[in-house]
Amino acid sequence: MNGRVAFILKGYPRLSETFIAQEILALEQRGLPIDIWSLRHPTDAASHPVHAEIAAPVTYLPEYLRDDPVRVRAAWKTCSAWPTWAMAVSLFEADYRRDPTVNRVRRFGQAVVLAAELPATVTRLHAHFLHTPASVTRYAAALKGLPWSVSAHAKDIWTSPEWEKREKLADCGFAVTCTQTNAEHLSALAPAGRVARVYHGLDLSRFPPPPERQALNKVPVILSVGRAVTKKGYPVLLDALALLTLPWRFIHIGGGSQLDALRQQANDLGIADRVQWLGPQPQQAVIAACREADLFVLASRIADDGDRDGLPNVLVEAQSQNLPVVATDVSAIPELIRHGHNGLLVPPDDATAMAAALQTMLQDGEMRQVMGAAGAERVRTEFDLSRCIDRLAEKFGLETAP
């Protein structure tokens, strides 16, 4: 029988992290007992149905140490008496010399609270994201003398310094990541065999059969789902939409710090009356929007700080509904979208190329049908969660499904 595993997340629940929630639920259904520890309280007003199905208890660590000084002092008193204390402090100090920030101190303080409050039934720690959550997890594991592991995703990989990635990968028991692009990058920094690629996959049982797609809506609907942040490339997409010479309506789902600026840009371009900003939405609303749209688009790009998408789950969700896709050939997106087969890919930061691909797809009904169907078939055969979860289950010592 496996002991309990503490999953350390940056925030929980989050609408933008459906992939984490569905993995936790799938592992629970395979028999893994899980506790969730979150570094932050939720900020989304809604949650997905999958969150309500997860049995794991959730504990929130103090996001800022000043928020709960009594709790922090009690944990510090407990852990500082342990024989592992000096080693854990030495680990933190080595990191702090290279990253002398308040955030680094906060990570260690959260780790002390985590270690002090972990129940004795927990035998392993697992971090989601290689940056902050993995730091907290690593310090807490050192204090408790427990093994730890990590799931790495996107920003956490591409914005973390190399020294930190190398040391964490050398220290953890295993690391999994959701794309081949990520896996190759991390494997070059890790001991042999330490990093495994495990696609997130999609829980197709939550999705209705894809609709038949024939004629366009009277005014074609172009849909995009993603946070309004730099790596999503929405300013470029708005420029591309303004270049289209046929009727269209654009729907955006997602939150993000750039929403106000994007609304102003749409107004400046003279297209604001054709753009609808729906904000963050639960998964069932995203699915409904995919079924009603004519085309899905994502203009992902690499931000100046190196942040980029991995393989956005929204692309897999869109393709599960026979929805044709136009995207950029950034990061691991070509691992899902094969240009000319199940979608069109264009270079990032190129509004003219994006507009041409959108216009081509909207004008060619046969292309939309062929590529939409090919996308749905690829999702069914290669990105079904029930298949993808097997490799992750093995990492946790679980039997795979028959």
Give the pLDDT confidence score for residue 150 in this predicted structure.
98
Report the candidate in 113, 176, 183, 226 with the shortest Cα–Cα distance to residue 335. 183
pLDDT of residue 205: 87
The CA distances from residue 286 to 17, 76, 260, 281, 290, in Å, are 13, 44, 21, 7, 6
Summarised one tens digit per residue, pLDDT across range 255-265 is: 999 999 999 99
- Work out the angle at residue 349's Cα, subtended by the Cα atoms of residues 282 and 359, and round it to the nearest 5 degrees: 75
Q: What class has domain 205-382?
A: alpha beta
For the cut 90, the answer to whether the pLDDT of residue 245 exceeds it is yes
Nearest to 158 by CA among 301, 19, 257, 302: 302
User: Cα(55)–Cα(46) distance, rounded to whole angstroms?
Assistant: 18
Q: What does the block give as tokens for 298?
A: 């994502």
Per-residue confidence (pLDDT) for residue 47, from 0 to 100: 87
The pLDDT score that the predictor gives to residue 186 is 98
Topology match between the domains 4-201+384-395 and 205-382 = yes
Residue range 279-292, pLDDT digits in tens: 999 989 999 999 99
What does pTM read for this prediction? Answer: 0.86
> Which pLDDT does position 350 carry in this prediction?
98
What are 354-394's pLDDT values in tens digits?
999 999 999 999 999 999 999 999 999 999 998 889 989 99
pLDDT of 46 reads 81
**Candidate from 91-100, 203-212, 333-342 with smallest mean pLDDT:** 203-212
Is pLDDT above 60 for 402? no
d(CA 351, CA 122): 51
Tens of pLDDT, residue by residue over 296-317, are 999 999 999 999 999 999 999 9
CATH number of 4-201+384-395: 3.40.50.2000
Residue 265's CB is within 10 A of a number of other CB atoms, namely 18
Mean pLDDT of 211-227: 91
* Residue 209 vs residue 228, higher pLDDT: 228
pLDDT of residue 116: 98
- Domain range list for the chain: 4-201+384-395, 205-382
Task: For residue 400, name the pLDDT band (cuts at 50, 70, 90).
Answer: low
pLDDT digits (tens, 9 = 90+) for 89-121: 999 999 999 999 999 999 999 999 999 999 999
Q: Above pLDDT 70, what percent of the chain? A: 99
Residue 1: pLDDT over 60: no
Q: How many CB atoms lie within 10 A of CB 195?
A: 23
| Residue pLDDT, tens place only, 112-156 | 999 999 999 999 999 999 999 999 999 999 999 999 999 999 999
Q: How confident is the model at residue 2 (pLDDT cuts 50, 70, 90)?
A: low
Question: What pLDDT sits at residue 43?
Answer: 87
